Amino acid sequence: MSAALSNDATTQLKALYAEMEPRSLYPLWEVLAALVTPKPRSPAQAHRWTYADARDYLLRAGDLISAAQAERRVLIMENPGLPGSSSVTSSLYAGLQLILPGEIAPCHRHAQCALRFVMEGEGAFTAVDGEKAVMRPFDLVLTPGWQWHDHGNTSSQPMIWLDGLDIPTVMHFDASFAEHLPQSAHPETVPPGDTAMRYGRNMRPMRGTPTDRRAGRQPLFHYPYAEWRESLDYLTRSGEPDPHFGYALEFTNPADGGAVMPTISAHVRHLPGGFSSRPRLSTDGTIFVVVEGSGTAQVDGKDIPLRERDTVVVPSWRELVLKADSDLVLFGYSDRTAQEKLGLFREHRG
């Protein structure tokens, strides 16, 4: 409350609050300023996870528990400002998953949307509704909500990728559902690459025909590094970089041109060596992975080193300046698309 009250009024109000509490009634005026803030006040902190450290712990865990026992052998990247939440931002989750040679992570499906950004290894696969996507470093693979998916490693090397999910968002809406397939792997339904041939060339099977086999679903789920890197290189040669983003490309859903999933946006950007972005704030907390090069993320004036395969989170409404020591390539994902649909997204460019 902003205005001072007399001692008698204060005493009577406290007695009133105590009488209301057993009935689950509380005074808004006591907490309004904390609920409706003049700008975002996320408790999340900017933080960096070094890949070398996380990889060591993950491989040690691989010696102790199998993928089948764990269902998903993942190290959660929990934001230090959100202890006990299993969240990297208030709306998103991040973790590093390991599949060892010969292992299968059992088939399941859930309401949550997930992306996989490959950090290490080649030749393992993610299967979505029975179609395999053979994974290579820095590929983006989606497992959209309520679609069956399993992972397997038929290569001779460990496979590690970053998991990005909307778990906190789904929990917020109390809308979590999950199922497990009786067998560990989904039967193969089509050859690998089938979806890319049908939907990945700015075309699609005619609607209402049997060949439109993913009608009404997320059609494309594999975005190979070789393809997006080539496009980013072309963009780099096409003109001057944007002062806030450098050269940036968004991953899109070919069905509607929107973000890759209903609750998660993803993009890549290239900052030439020596480039320093102008300050920018946005309401979507973003998780970055360093794909190539080195540099610095300056968050509210604090420098965070950027090294290859490290992961950095920048919370909502923190001033971000990116500096590239060498050519710097970043992958990032956020909840921007969900905020835009709800009319909440804002940004400020300095």
Q: Report the C-alpha gap between 9 and 17 in whole angstroms.
A: 12
Q: Report the C-alpha gap between 56 and 64 in whole angstroms.
A: 13
Render pLDDT for 156-206 as a digit per residue (tens, 0 to 9): 999 999 999 999 999 999 999 999 999 999 999 999 999 999 999 888 899
Task: State the pLDDT at residue 3.
Answer: 65
Q: In Å, what is the CA distance from 304 to each residue of 13, 47, 234, 299?
A: 48, 8, 29, 7
Mean pLDDT of the chain: 96
Q: Which CATH architecture has domain 47-349?
A: Sandwich (2.60)
Render pLDDT for 257-312 as a digit per residue (tens, 0 to 9): 999 999 999 999 999 999 999 999 999 999 999 999 999 999 999 999 999 999 99
Query: For residue 310, what are its two tokens?
Result: 């490290």
Which DSSP helix (H) or strand (E) runs through 142? strand 140-143
Scan for tokens 């090294």, then name that residue: 307
- Quick one: DSSP state of residue 252? B
Find, among 249, 248, 72, 44, the residue nearest to 161 by Cα.
72
Q: Report the C-alpha gap between 340 and 331 in whole angstroms.
A: 20
The residue type found at 63 is D
Q: Report the C-alpha gap between 137 and 156 in whole angstroms.
A: 15
Which DSSP helix (H) or strand (E) runs through 298? strand 295-299
Widest pairwise Cα distance in the chain: 78
Cα dihedral 121, 123, 127, 131, rounded to 10, equals 150
Scan for tokens 């970089």, then name that residue: 241
Q: Report the C-alpha gap between 309 and 313 in whole angstroms.
A: 13
Give this prediction's pTM: 0.95
Render pLDDT for 41-80 as a digit per residue (tens, 0 to 9): 999 999 999 999 999 999 999 999 999 899 999 999 999 9
Report whether 255 contacts 237 (CB < 8 A): no
Task: State the pLDDT at residue 216.
Answer: 77
Strands 178-180 and 104-110: antiparallel
Render pLDDT for 19-33 as a digit per residue (tens, 0 to 9): 999 999 999 999 999
Question: Within 13 Å of residue 184, how many CA atoms lie on the same side as its CB?
Answer: 11
